[in-house]
Each structure stands twice: as structure tokens, then as C-alpha cells.
Amino acid sequence: MTEYQHYDVAVIGYGPTGVTAANLLGAGGISVAVIERDAQVYSRARAISTDEEVVRIWQRAGLADRLKQDMLAERPIDFVDRDGRAFISAELPSRGHGHPPQMFIYQPALERVLREGARRYPNVELRLAHECVRVFPREDGVELMLVDLRTDEITRITASYVIAADGGSSPTRGQLGIGFDGRTAEDRWLVVDTRMLKPWPGHDRLRFHCDPGRPAVDCPTPLGHHRWEFPVLPGEDETELVTGDAVWRLLNRQGRTRDEVEVLRSVVYNHHVRFASRWRAGRIFLAGDAAHVMPPWIGQGMAAGVRDAGNLCWKLIGVLSGTLPESVLDTYETERQPHVRAVARRAVLAGRIITERRRAVTRIRDIVFRAVEASPMRRRLHDLLWVPPWRHRDGFLTTARHGAVGRTVPQPTVLDGTGTQTPLDDVTAGRWALLHRGSAPGAAGWPGLASIEVLPAGSTPRAGAVVDTGGELTTWMARHDGGVLVLRPDSVVYAAAAPGRPLPTPPDGLRPATRVPPEPATTRPERGSPDGCRLAARAGGHRALPR
């Protein structure tokens, strides 16, 4: 009998999706092994923006405020014609998540903060510079074969569940024989990342240059960086295009000079629209680019992966802690895939506006969109160019029909029981919760839930209640006829009832936990250092299973 070190969850891949999962699972108090090929954060910035819902997910891990320090928010977005005149100046609508609708990021810096976040948890063990070369599904878990890329040593571990967040070329997906259907765009694009040496007029605006002769993306990024993207035109040599002289010809066309920016790197890549044929194989789940890839036009590739982690991790925590039935894991793909596909369609639509090459069509495009910009349809146009709002129609929800079920409640800043201004999610604290205006008929049928009364603006703060100082939450509840809401840990409404009406009964197997996980440590070394080994031993919770 051979015993392998056992974890509740193994996370393969430590990009934004994997590191988000590590933080959420770590905060949930379960044991996690992270397997990542690279010893350091990948140095090239890939994603350049994120949105309010994604930051709300990072808020659940206690990292939103720190991450936002390194972001640029509320920046203008222009679609300009071949002469540089705007035909759309977008004002992105808020979806009510309590953060700016869009924020520009510098991905290496963001990932470093997220990794530092994961190091707070002694129950999260990092196996950096390790590659997962095989996964062996078992009835009671998954066996993983790992190679230490520094020593070539082979080790094996087991996990109750696996999250494969190992990228668009996912070796795990390939081992499982899961298809990756879709298409790759014919155009390839040159990405040029730079360091800004001195600002120029408009340096902080995102501009989509919709020139049929040479479309381009001109994007501000924080921490003194700036990015451009250009299509590789027919007949151009990609090898030559990434050289310094060729890059500077393109930047000079944008009006930039060597005293304004320093070129850090240039690379050519493809745009893809692909979806895994299934996102689950037994106890293994695909997430992020391993499950789906999309064009970058509305900055949602990374964001979609973080949303995957946000949906899956609270369910895994519930199943592993015994507070949810195992069947809830079947709802991961059911809930996530419709929104991913809707976001991909929006990205394709934005890309068509930006990359149209037929001059006659672009002239009509510019006239039509300028007319819409000057009309009451302007807000609708901007909404169509942004992340679509979503509501779960199927998934882990009550079958009792109600207009609030499946929606995410907004997150205003409220007064908590002590009279302190607090974001709503910091009050619900990632727990199942009852949110109610006035009495809550049927609440006794939901034992163990945090009960939070919503008081109108001007009320006196008190324990067990929040004061909705801006009226956003009470307005939302009234609009959806919600007197009582049952919130899942991800702030989605599981069940609801109109004022004075009783709630439906809880689902079979739901036993909401009332305990709060212990506070995380301030930091934690990765596996391999003496401190890391001591912390892993002190954490406990690693069970050895017979093979």
C-alpha cells in the first residue's frame, strides 16, 4: 500500500483563474495544492482590463482594495475613424457591484498581489516549478503525477477534486479527451507593450482606431505602462514585424516617439472563439481558458475565468464541508456557460466594429453610429458594447418562480450594526443569508442562515440590520417584489418571496455553516523553503489515502 499526500482540491495552473481559486478555497479553510510550471509570475502583460463583478469576487478574498490601488478606473473609451474623430464615446454602464464598471490593469502586478493573498493561508500549498503530467481519475478522488522541473523528481498526490486552470492549450483537457470546439480568426495581431517615459495628450484614453487601412488599439495601463495592438496585414512578415524598426514605424504612425515610451516587448498572437465540449469530467473541472477562450475586444478573457472560480469555489467549499449536496457541482457549467457565450458574442460584435476593412462599410458605420450617439439610443448602444447583464435561468436555484431568483443583488455601501459604512458583501461575509424588509415569513424553515434586515435611509443602526443609506438595495428589492431574499454565498438570489409571503423550503442537503473560517496568516512561503514546510505541517488537514 502506497500513501500519497492528499488535499481537498488540487488547482492546476496559477494564472488569474487558478490564483483566484486558491484565495477563495484558502479562505474557506479547506486544503489546497497548487501546481504551476513557472516559478515566477509570467512577465508579459496579457489581460489589460477587468470589471466590477470580477473585483467583487476578489473582494470575497479580502483583496479588492489592495488590487484597486494598482488599477486605472473610469477612463474614457473612444471608437475613432481613420481621421481620428470619435464616432462612439462610450460610457460603460454599471451593473451595481459596488466598484467602477471597468478598470485597466497591469497583469504581472495584479498576479503578484493575488499570489501574496494566497500565501496568507497555511492550508494552501504551492508547488511552483512543477508540472502535472498525468491525472488519474478515481472513484473517490483524483491521483496526480507531478514532475519537479528543477530536479526531475516525480511525485504523486491525491485530491478529492481538481480545478484545471491550465490555459487554452490545457494538457489536462487533452488527457481527458474533451473537445475544444470553435474557430480561430484569420487575422493575427501584434501586441506592443511599453513603459511610458512621459505623458502625452490623451495618454489615459482607450482608443479603438477603426481605420480600414490599419486598425489599432491604443490602451492605457497602470503603473506607467501603455499598450498598442495592430493586425498583421496580408503580405507582412511576422518575423520582421516584431523587430524594433518595424514596431517604431507603427508607433510613429500613432504619434509616439522614443522620448515618450520605451518598448518592452512585442509579440504576435491569434484571436480564438472556442469552448470545451464539457467542463466537468468526474471530479475534474475545467476553468478559465481551459474551458473557453474569446477575443479580447471587451477585455473579458481573464474576467470570465475569475467568474468561473467565483462560481465553482463556494460550491466546492460547501460540498467538502458537508453543508451542500455533491449534486450542486453539476450546476457549475449550467450556470456559467450561457454567460460566457453571451460575453463572447459581445466581444465578436465589438471586434467587427473595430476591424472592418471595407471602406464603403466603414463610411456607413461612422454615419450610423454618430447618429445613434446623438439620439436617446446612446445608452443602449453603450450597453451592447459591454458585458451583458445576466440572470441564472437554471442551476442551483429554487424551482418556485419569482422575479428575483437567479439574479445577483447589487452591492451598495450600507451602515452596519455599529453604524460603520460597509460594502454589503462584507456584511454577508460569503455566507448564506436572509435579506429582508420587515418581517420574514418562513425564515424559521431556513435555520442557520445569517438574518439581515434592510432598513431605509435615516434609520438608526442596530444589530442584525443594515441601513440602506442610498436606497439602492431597497429600490432593487421593491422592483423585483422581494420582501425576503435567500442569498447564496456568491450573492445570487437562491429563493425569494413577496412581502408578507412565505419562503419556499430549502433544498435537500443544505446545512448552512455558521462558523467563520480563522483569520489568515499575513504571508506564507511557497513549498520547498524551510518555513513553507513548517507551515504545511502546522496546518494539518492533509490526509494520506491508501492506493
Give the CATH number for residue 491. Answer: 3.40.30
pLDDT digits (tens, 9 = 90+) for 400-424: 999 999 999 999 999 999 999 999 9
| Cα–Cα distance measured from residue 225 to residue 71, given in angstroms and rounded to the nearest whole number | 11
What's the first-to-final CA gap in the chain, in angstroms?
Answer: 6
pLDDT digits (tens, 9 = 90+) for 338-390: 999 999 999 999 999 999 999 999 999 999 999 999 999 999 999 998 999 89
Examine residue 121 and state whether it is found in any structural domain, yes or no: yes
CATH value at residue 309: 3.50.50.60
- The answer on 403 and 334 residing in a single domain is no
CB 409 within 8 A of CB 487: yes
**How far, in Å, CA of 507 to CA of 488, rounded?**
12
Distance CA 126, CA 141 (A): 20
Q: Are residues 25 and 106 in the same domain?
A: yes
In a domain, 260, yes or no: no
Residue after which a domain boundary falls, among 294, 321, 350: 350
Of 289, 317, 350, which residue sits at a domain end? 350
> CB 537: neighbour CB atoms within 10 A?
10
Question: Are 332 and 423 found together in one domain?
Answer: no
Query: 122 in a domain, yes or no?
Result: yes
Report the pLDDT value the prediction gives residue 520, as an integer from 0 to 100: 54
d(CA 94, CA 376): 18
Residue 23 and residue 157 in one domain: yes
Tens-place pLDDT, residues 172-195: 999 999 999 988 776 789 999 999
Question: Is 514 found in the same domain as 440?
Answer: yes
- Tell whether 363 is covered by a domain: no
What's the average model confidence in pLDDT over 86-115? 94
- Residue 496: which domain range? 397-520
pLDDT tens figures, 200-225: 998 999 999 999 999 999 999 999 99
Look at residue 505 and tell me whether its pLDDT is greater than 60: yes
* Three cell numbers written together for 249: 514605424
**DSSP H or E segment with residue 395:** none
Residues 344 and 414 in one domain: no
Residues 21 and 146 in one domain: yes
- Tell me: do 174 and 293 sit in the same domain: yes
Closest C-alpha to 290, from 124, 214, 179: 179
Diameter of the chain measured on Cα atoms? 74
**For residue 519, what pLDDT is reported?**
53
Judge if 402 and 512 occupy the same domain.
yes
pLDDT digits (tens, 9 = 90+) for 246-302: 999 999 999 999 999 999 999 998 888 999 999 999 999 999 999 999 988 888 999
pTM across the whole model: 0.92
Residues 323, 512 contacting (CB under 8 angstroms): yes
**Stretch 45-59: mean pLDDT, rounded?**
93
Predicted local confidence at residue 543, as pLDDT: 32
pLDDT in tens, 147-167: 999 999 999 999 999 999 999
Contact 161, 283 (CB under 8 A): yes
Let me know whether 277 and 411 are in one domain.
no
Q: What is the pLDDT of residue 521?
A: 53
Does the residue 315 lie in any domain? Answer: yes
Q: DSSP 3-state helix, strand, coil percentages of the chain (rounded to 5)?
A: 30, 30, 40
Choosing from 350, 365, 385, the residue where a domain stops is: 350
In this prediction, residue 545 carries a pLDDT of 30
Whether residue 82 lies inside any domain: the answer is no
Q: What is the torsional sign of CA 514, 476, 495, 328? A: negative
| Matching residue, cell 514605424 | 249
Regarding whether 419 and 306 lie in a shared domain, the answer is no
Residue 429 falls within a domain, yes or no? yes
Domain count, the chain: 2
346 and 452 both lie in a single domain: no
Check: CB of residue 1 under 8 Å from CB of residue 546.
Answer: yes
Is residue 173 domain-resident?
Answer: yes
